[in-house]
């Protein structure tokens, strides 16, 4: 049976991981580089022992930071303006401050998340702002989180707020098919590994299948949920893909739709 996180010390972590106390301190405080091998080993030990740095533990117990964090993977499109306004209004009304940070989870070995238990009382994580392993670790130490526009990893009870992407996309694409007689529907997908994008594409494919229309990979473009990316993808398609017939376009979001119209 593992010891409770409140009784686990930095020396316990160092002993278990086979490194010095100074190495653990550097890793936790992110004030010096630690090799990827040692970082991975410390991740596992910290999770196993459920260790919480003293400062973070005090924050979690007392909530003295009075700060809520919002972690995003980018701020590139118009979608985020109403989102940020809404979050900030509620946070301020509850007597908290809001910290907003951008973070790319694929850089986690070189650069840790800028916000978390060390400087906030809780975190809102947008889409794929953190990988499942990091979400599991934060959940294991009892750090409050809400996921926005994604569902939690399997068997990890993190609250989430999202939309029903598959059914909604299926309905919209089916409207093009049944109400407007479209059968060659060009689809602009979002970021390849993002849950919203994957589920919207699933809804697109299910609508085609339900109406006896074969899926054609040539009708799929990458729009990345970004206006300029969608514009360039559509512009290139119109220049070089004239042999591919299409009679309508479905985009994964508003910014991509604007890019398509511009093209």
List pLDDT tens digits, range 59-86: 544 556 889 999 998 887 778 888 899 9
Looking at the structure, do residues 151 and 203 belong to the same domain, yes or no?
Answer: no
Query: Which residue would you say has higher pLDDT here, 123 or 193?
Result: 123
Looking at the structure, do residues 149 and 109 belong to the same domain, yes or no?
Answer: yes
**Domain count within the chain:** 3
pLDDT(6) > 60: no
Residues 84 and 100 sit within 8 Å (Cβ to Cβ): yes
Looking at the structure, do residues 19 and 81 belong to the same domain, yes or no?
Answer: no
Give the pair of three-digit tokens for residue 48: 């196993």
pLDDT category at 5 given cuts 50, 70, 90 is: very low
Looking at the structure, do residues 117 and 169 belong to the same domain, yes or no?
Answer: no
CA distance 78 to 258: 11
Looking at the structure, do residues 61 and 40 belong to the same domain, yes or no?
Answer: no
Mean pLDDT of the chain: 87
Residue 111 belongs to domain spanning: 53-161
Looking at the structure, do residues 171 and 145 belong to the same domain, yes or no?
Answer: no
Looking at the structure, do residues 101 and 194 belong to the same domain, yes or no?
Answer: no
Summarize pLDDT for 95-104 with one digit per residue, the tens: 999 999 998 8
Q: Which pLDDT score, from 0 to 100, does residue 3 have? A: 44
Mean pLDDT of 38-55: 80
Please name the residues in contact with 22: beta carbons below 8 A apart, sequence gap of 6 or more: none
Please name the residues in contact with 91: beta carbons below 8 A apart, sequence gap of 6 or more: 68, 97, 98
Out of 143-147, 187-191, 237-241, least confident range? 237-241
Q: Which pLDDT score, from 0 to 100, does residue 65 have? A: 80
The domain that holds 14 is classified in CATH as: 1.10.260.40
Q: Which long-range contacts link 131-136 to residues 24+ away (Cβ below 8 Å)?
A: 131/105, 132/156, 133/43, 134/105, 134/108, 136/47
Nearest-Å Rg of the Cα atoms of the chain is 23
The domain that holds 214 is classified in CATH as: 3.40.50.2300
pLDDT(156) > 80: yes
Domain boundary among 143, 161, 179: 161
pLDDT category at 1 given cuts 50, 70, 90 is: very low
């Amino acid at each position: 049976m593992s010891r409770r996180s409140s009784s686990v010390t930095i020396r316990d972590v160092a002993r278990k991981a086979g490194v010095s106390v100074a190495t653990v301190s550097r890793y936790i405080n992110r004030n010096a580089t630690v090799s990827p091998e040692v970082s991975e080993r410390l991740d596992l030990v910290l999770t196993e022992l459920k260790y919480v740095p003293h400062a973070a533990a005090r924050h979690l117990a007392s909530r003295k930071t009075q700060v809520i964090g919002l972690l995003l993977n980018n701020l590139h499109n118009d979608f985020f303006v109403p989102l940020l306004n809404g979050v900030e209004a509620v946070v301020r009304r509850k007597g908290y401050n809001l910290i907003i940070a951008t973070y790319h989870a694929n850089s986690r070995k070189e650069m840790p998340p800028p916000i978390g238990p060390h400087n906030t009382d809780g975190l809102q994580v947008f889409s794929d702002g953190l990988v499942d392993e990091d979400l599991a670790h934060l959940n294991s130490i009892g750090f409050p989180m809400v996921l926005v526009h994604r569902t939690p990893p399997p068997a990890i009870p993190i609250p989430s707020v999202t939309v029903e992407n598959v059914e909604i996309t299926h309905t919209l694409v089916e409207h093009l098919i049944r109400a407007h007689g479209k059968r060659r529907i060009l689809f602009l997908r979002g970021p390849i590994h993002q849950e919203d994008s994957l589920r919207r594409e699933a809804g697109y494919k299910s609508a085609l299948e339900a109406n006896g229309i074969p899926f054609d990979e040539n009708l799929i473009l990458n729009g990345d949920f970004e206006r300029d990316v969608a514009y360039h993808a559509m512009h290139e398609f119109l220049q070089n893909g004239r042999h591919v017939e299409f009679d309508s376009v479905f985009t994964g979001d508003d910014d991509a739709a604007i890019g398509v119209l511009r093209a």
